[in-house]
Amino acid sequence: MKKKNDLLASLRLLGYLTQFGLSVILPPLLLVFLGWWLCDRYGIGIWLTIVLLVFGLISSGCSIYRFFKIFVRETKDEPYEKNRPDGTDSDENGKGDRDDEV
């Protein structure tokens, strides 16, 4: 059963990586081609292509941010445990220090 879960996790990460490449490359390219076509068709000027390129780069940046949030969440080994390794609870400040120790 563990092999099946490992395979599914690997395939999921492969899907994320494939999607990452497409979501980074396609928005700027499509918006630049759209801007170029609009400028050529209506004689607007190069400024529209530049504005659309900036929007495409912002969109790619957002995709990268979302990808890394998902990637970090998927690759975490185990959640943080509140207990110490010796089985005792840590104190309220989370450092594990006891007040009676000096």
The predicted pLDDT at position 20 comes to: 87
Flag whether pLDDT at 102 surpasses 60: no
Do residues 91 and 97 lie in contact, with contact meaning Cβ atoms separated by under 8 Å?
Answer: yes
Rounded-to-integer distance, Cα 64 and Cα 66, Å: 6
Query: What integer is the mean pLDDT of 17-37?
Result: 93
pLDDT in tens, 37-66: 999 999 988 999 999 999 999 999 998 998
For residue 55, with 0-12 CB atoms within 10 Å meaning exposed, 13-18 middle and 19 or more buried, which class applies? middle
Cβ-Cβ contacts under 8 Å for 29 (sequence gap 6 or more): 56
In three-state secondary structure terms, 8 is: helix
For residue 32, with 0-12 CB atoms within 10 Å meaning exposed, 13-18 middle and 19 or more buried, which class applies? middle
The predicted pLDDT at position 47 comes to: 93
The predicted pLDDT at position 86 comes to: 57
- How distant, in Å, are the alpha carbons of 51, 52, 53, 71 from that of 34? 11, 8, 10, 31
Query: What integer is the mean pLDDT of 58-80?
Result: 80
